[in-house]
Amino acid sequence: MKAILVINAGSSSVKFALYATEPELAAKPALSGQIEGIGATPMLSAQDAAGLRYREPVHTAGGQAEQHRDALNHLFAWLAAHNPALDIVAAGHRIVHGGELHSAPVRLNEFVLRDLDGFVPLAPLHQPHNLRAVRAVAVLLPGIPQVGCFDTAFHRTQPALAQAFALPRAITARGVKRYGFHGLSYDYVARQLPDVIGARASGAVLIAHLGNGASMCALRDGKSVASTMGFTAVDGLMMGTRTGSLDPGVLLYLMEQQHMDAKALTNLLYKESGLLGVSGISQDMRTLLASPAREAKEAVDLFCYRIAREIGSLAAAAGGLDALVFTGGIGEHAAPVRTQVAELSGWLGVKIDAQANAAHATRIDATDSRVAVAVVPTNEERMIARYTAELLAL
Ligand SMILES: Nc1ncnc2c1ncn2[C@@H]1O[C@H](COP(=O)(O)OP(=O)(O)O)[C@@H](O)[C@H]1O
Ligand SMILES: CC(=O)OP(=O)(O)O
Ligand SMILES: [Mg+2]
């Protein structure tokens, strides 16, 4: 049977899935899983369609880049040994940054890849790993078509105002503007919404993608009109290890007074801040919610406060608030975070039902809530498989 290999290479993980293309793109992957914890103690976990589960440690060495490469090699060797007799005819990849050019998925070749290399400085935690995975597949499965699906593409519908920084025109003309990310996730969730919130899906909707990377998107008629992430994926909400929005004056201060250079600042903004930096304990929301430490609570409080502040801002961009939708690892599983965000957004008419929220129900709004509130699991891999099948007419 023919299948599409999907690779979603993230900052500390590589997610993968094999989707059979026949007779039509399968709803469930034949095989899926991830290598998590790259940079710490990487572990491969996977499951097949029959429910069989696999789990094994992954040995990596060297710096972050070498570890990512080792993890990919491990994954391909593992896939070769565990592929359930599927004939891989194409690969689809999540590529975080597509710049101004890409508003849709694209067939990848060395020419396109070299152009995408140019965005590595704008997405240092993702883009290098995304592109390495494409080049690795080109060596391991020579000749198969590969498709790049961009996190930025979904946001290309945003009005010019929402994309602009208040910078001199010459700098804006060089492409320094807001792009927005997590677009594959927003696209997937937006397509589920008519079934979950009915006609409100075409109104003013805010989707909060709260994972290790976290952002929010304002939609109107199912299309992105604004988002919290900007030129890079470090903007907006507080994240696992990223600052989110920061007074740019702080950077000037750190450069001038603390003599930090670009490399040190990149580390600070992307890897040492967010939940990890504020708590001093962990970047993992599960650990923080279970911790009795005051610093853990402060980190969670700031995470929720920042979300609530951005809900106000995005409601302004969307011209109202008909629905609030949670997704991503934290959005789907952390009931206390949803409770706190809802309480802080009560003034906008958000009210959730405690029982439904604790049960992670699809609809968690209270009967007297003006705003529909939902929990919709995201599936970036499925979105990539679908785009790849469409583009290649598989
Ligand atoms: N049951 C849970 N309760 C609270 N947080 C959770 C739970 N499961 C996962 N998370 C959190 O979700 C985050 C990872 O989200 P995910 O969307 O998988 O990340 P990534 O951005 O790497 O794809 C982590 O902070 C993790 O602690
Ligand atoms: C764009 C981004 O932040 O992605 P992730 O959540 O996978 O880190
Ligand atoms: Mg993610």
**Is 151 part of the annotated catalytic residue set?**
yes
Check the annotation: does 100 bind a ligand.
no
* Rounded-to-integer distance, Cα 88 and Cα 90, Å: 6
**CA distance to 39, 98, 244, per residue, from 231 (Å):** 26, 11, 12
pLDDT at residue 26 in the model: 77
Domains, the chain, ordered by start: 2-150 (3.30.420.40), 197-375 (3.30.420.40)
User: Is 279's C-beta closer than 6 angstroms to any atom of ligand 1?
Assistant: no
User: In ligand 2, which atom is closest to the CA atom of 242?
Assistant: 3
Reading the block at residue 9, the tokens are 């290479």
What's the whole-number mean pLDDT along residues 310-327?
98
* Rounded-to-integer distance, Cα 331 and Cα 325, Å: 9
**What are the percentages of helix, strand and coil residues in the chain, rounded to 5?**
45, 20, 35
* Rounded-to-integer distance, Cα 179 and Cα 156, Å: 7
Residue 304 Cα, ligand 2 centroid: separation in angstroms?
Answer: 18
Please state the pTM of the whole predicted model: 0.95
Q: 188, 149, 184, 152: which is closest to 27 by C-alpha?
A: 188
Placement of tokens 């101004």 in the chain: 100
- Residue 19 has φ and ψ, to the nearest 5°, of -110, 125
Lowest pLDDT segment from 4-18, 149-163, 197-211, 361-375: 4-18
Q: How confident is the model at residue 1 (pLDDT cuts 50, 70, 90)?
A: confident
Cβ atoms of residues 215 and 227 within 8 Å? yes
Residue with more model confidence, 147 or 37: 147
Q: How confident is the model at residue 50 (pLDDT cuts 50, 70, 90)?
A: confident
Q: Name the amino acid, one letter, at 356.
A: A
β-sheet bridge partners, residue 94: 149
Give exposure, 366-386, as e/b (b: 16+ Cβ within 10 Å).
beebebbbbbbbbbbbbbbbb
Number of the ligand closest to the Cα of 330: 1
Half-sphere exposure of 63 (CA within 13 A, CB side): 1
pLDDT at residue 31 in the model: 93
Which amino acids bring their CB within 6 angstroms of ligand 2? 10-11, 96, 126, 151, 181-182, 211-213, 233
Per-residue pLDDT tens over the stretch 27-46? 889 999 999 888 778 999 99
> Which residue has a Cα nearest atom 5 of ligand 2?
213
pLDDT at 82 over 90: no
Residue 212 Cα, ligand 2 centroid: separation in angstroms?
Answer: 7
Number of the ligand closest to the Cα of 182: 2
pLDDT at residue 51 in the model: 87
Catalytically annotated residue among 151, 187, 353, 365:
151
SS3 of 112-126: the string is HHHHHHCCHHHCCCC
Q: How confident is the model at residue 120 (pLDDT cuts 50, 70, 90)?
A: very high
**Which residues are near ligand 3, the ion (C-beta closer than 5 Å)?**
211
Q: Quick check: bond before 168 cis, omega within 30?
A: no
Per-residue pLDDT tens over the stretch 340-365? 999 999 999 999 999 999 999 999 99
> For the packed helices 294-318 and 335-344, what is the interaxial angle rounded to 10 degrees?
50
Q: 277, 270, 317, 327: which is closest to 298 by C-alpha?
A: 277
What's the whole-number mean pLDDT along residues 253-260?
97
Number of the ligand closest to the Cα of 12: 1
Q: How confident is the model at residue 210 (pLDDT cuts 50, 70, 90)?
A: very high
